[in-house]
Structure 1
Amino acid sequence: MRRPRPMILGAGLLLLAAACSSPATVAPSAAPTSTSTAPAGKDITVSVPGTLAADFDDLLPTLHGRAGLALMPVGGTKMATLGDWTTGAAWSTIKVPLVLAVLRHNGDTTTASMSAAITESDNSAADVLWQSLGTPDAAAAAVQAVLRDGGDSTTSVPATRTRPDYSSFGQATWALRDQLRFTAELPCLDDADTVTSLMAKISGSQQWGLGHLEGSEYKGGWGPDANGKYLVRQLGLVGTETGKLAIVLAAQPDSGSFDDGQAMLTKIAAVVSKHLDELPGGSCAPKR
């Protein structure tokens, strides 16, 4: 029998149930064999054989690269973070708040550029959307305002390009935890239905990772660092028996290959899929 190993969970995977806006329970298999208490907001050490945390711990050494996974119920406050990747360029995942910023700017009118930017990750379409928000400073402020409304109080959206060949907004540094907060709040934001409906129609060539989870709404982003090594990441929403669950993934393969990064996210998503019935979802609080 495999000996349980300790896991360090950011806010505690077992605390996800407390974050639901609707009642939820954690499956019996998720109960830890031992726990150690810690002050609120601190890491909690638990031994969790047979759970998502343990399975991810087993998977990580086989991925041959750095990876991160974070989960939180929609409308919730408690998150779980796993892995050894924590922050990096947003790449095309930033197109989600970009499209929402444009929707707010033009009165929630969907355009072909919005559809192309989300469903096909079309960079030219995203540039059109960015320019429609006004000057670079105005565009950056508009996208950043969406992030703030989504609970991300940290991320800054640059107005000017830091790398000549890539958009300024795609080079925003978006930490895994900040991206998760935004994703968990996304369905609760005004005009969000227009964006999430596009996230459910991602083109076939980009249906890796979260695209393997039935009914998922997601957006991927990818690109090379200064040394040509790819970061591949996704944000998304998936349904559970108790509501929607926000999930964000990131992978930086040792090989630097885009294909290897895709494969890493698909393997992580497969592990998540095995445990979806144990993970609580949530819903948005009623608007007053």
Structure 2
Amino acid sequence: MSIRAVLAPLLIVLSLAVALVGCGTSSTTEPSSVPPVTVTVTAPPSSSAPSTSESATPRTTALTTGFTRAQASAGQPVGVVVVPVGGGEAVELGDQTPRVAWSTIKVPLAIAAQRANGQSSAQTTAIINSDNASAEQLWSSLGSAGQASAAVTAVLRDGGDTSTVVPAQRLRPGYTVFGQTVWTLAAAGTFTAQLPCMRGTEHVVSLMGQVAANQQWGVETMATPKATAVKGGWGPGASSGYVVRQIGLITYRDGRMASIVMSTAGSSLDSGIAALNVIGRWLNRNLVQLPRGRCS
């Protein structure tokens, strides 16, 4: 047999092997464009560590990671929403469970009363001292319970909150009608971000910048912004525990602003304030990551 006859089959086998390698399913070539990826960051199932979902932008990913550690230090669930003033994409972190507004609803109440009757001493003490008797005076000045409910709800709509409805009847004995308004953090954040941009709100915002010691926590612990303005609210949970929440505005050194709203539910008022202080200080350290804007 000739050498050519022996080598011919071997050459055919080698050619087939090379062809198969060239058609393999693995490839080292990357596509020219990669579609955007959404990352869901989920905390372990626990009553003290609710799950959080964030778009995988560098800002939200960094904030989500840092917030998880800060919330662990706070010792109880905390929810935060940050919205640039004038509107824009919100940053939502932590526990977004809908809860009643307590005294944070005194802000739209005071605005409604001022629009109807002008500025008053009751407006001042309702915001600065969170005085319930003064807030009840503002509520009564708006007419019947139904008229008062409609007036305060109208202020919320003016601030971009399209869903919250202030009740017209007492839902819980011993507590104010308006204080039992269910106000989600997202809706409260939207409203607070429009607060400096709404007509006739300058006086109420200035009062929020002068609150008494009983509200100087949470956002008020943030030392880096040029200025802060807040309104706190607190009270027992529907079945157990204690709810502490706050709406606030921060003015950055460049003049732009953001709304920050936060809420927590724990064993007591003191534990709630301590938890919001931890988050307030964490927000201050991450100020550069937070959104900001201006009224248009």
1:217 to 214, 229, 245: 229
| Other structure's SS at 2:151 match | helix
CA contact (8 A) 2:99 2:182 kept: yes
Equivalent position amino acid for 1:44 in 2: S
1:140 counterpart = 2:155? no
User: Of the two structures, which has the highest relative contact order with CA contacts closer than 8 Å and spacing of 6 or more?
Assistant: 1
Equivalent position amino acid for 1:216 in 2: T
2:249 to 237, 241, 246: 237
Deviation at 1:46, TM superposition (A): 5.2
Write the distance in 1 (CA, Å) between the matches of 2:214 and 2:236: 19
1:86-235 superposed matches below 5 A: 86-106=97-117, 109-214=118-223, 215-235=227-247
CA change 1:55–1:129 in 2 (3 A) is same
| Other structure's SS at 1:158 match | coil
Write the distance in 2 (CA, Å) between the matches of 1:281 and 1:49: 14
Deviation per CA, 1:192-231: give whole Å up to 9, x if none.
1011000000002321111112420010000002334210
Q: How large is the Cα RMSD of the aligned pairs?
A: 2.1
1:251 counterpart = 2:251? no
Equivalent position amino acid for 2:76 in 1: G
Write the distance in 1 (CA, Å) between the matches of 2:61 and 2:207: 35
Deviation at 1:176, TM superposition (A): 0.6
Name the counterpart of 1:16.
none
Q: Give TM-score scaled by structure 1 length.
A: 0.80
Identical aligned residues as a percent: 41
Deviation per CA, 1:158-204: give whole Å up to 9, x if none.
01101110011100000010000000011111111011000000002
Write the distance in 1 (CA, Å) between the matches of 2:232 and 2:182: 15
Deviation at 1:110, TM superposition (A): 1.9
Write the distance in 1 (CA, Å) between the matches of 2:202 and 2:58: 39
| Other structure's SS at 1:190 match | coil
CA change 1:242–1:86 in 2 (3 A) is farther
CA change 1:275–1:149 in 2 (3 A) is same
1:77 counterpart = 2:78? no
1:53 counterpart = 2:61? no
1:266 counterpart = 2:267? no
Deviation at 1:103, TM superposition (A): 1.0
Write the distance in 2 (CA, Å) between the matches of 1:281 and 1:62: 26
Deviation at 1:150, TM superposition (A): 0.4
| Other structure's SS at 2:96 match | coil
Name the counterpart of 1:36.
37
CA contact (8 A) 1:143 1:157 kept: yes
| Other structure's SS at 2:108 match | helix
**Aligned residue pair count:** 245
| Other structure's SS at 1:65 match | coil
CA contact (8 A) 2:164 2:187 kept: yes
Write the distance in 1 (CA, Å) between the matches of 2:200 and 2:229: 15
Name the counterpart of 1:62.
73
CA contact (8 A) 2:86 2:194 kept: yes
Equivalent position amino acid for 1:194 in 2: H
| Other structure's SS at 2:77 match | strand
Structure 2: stretches of 5+ with no match in the other structure: 1-35, 40-52
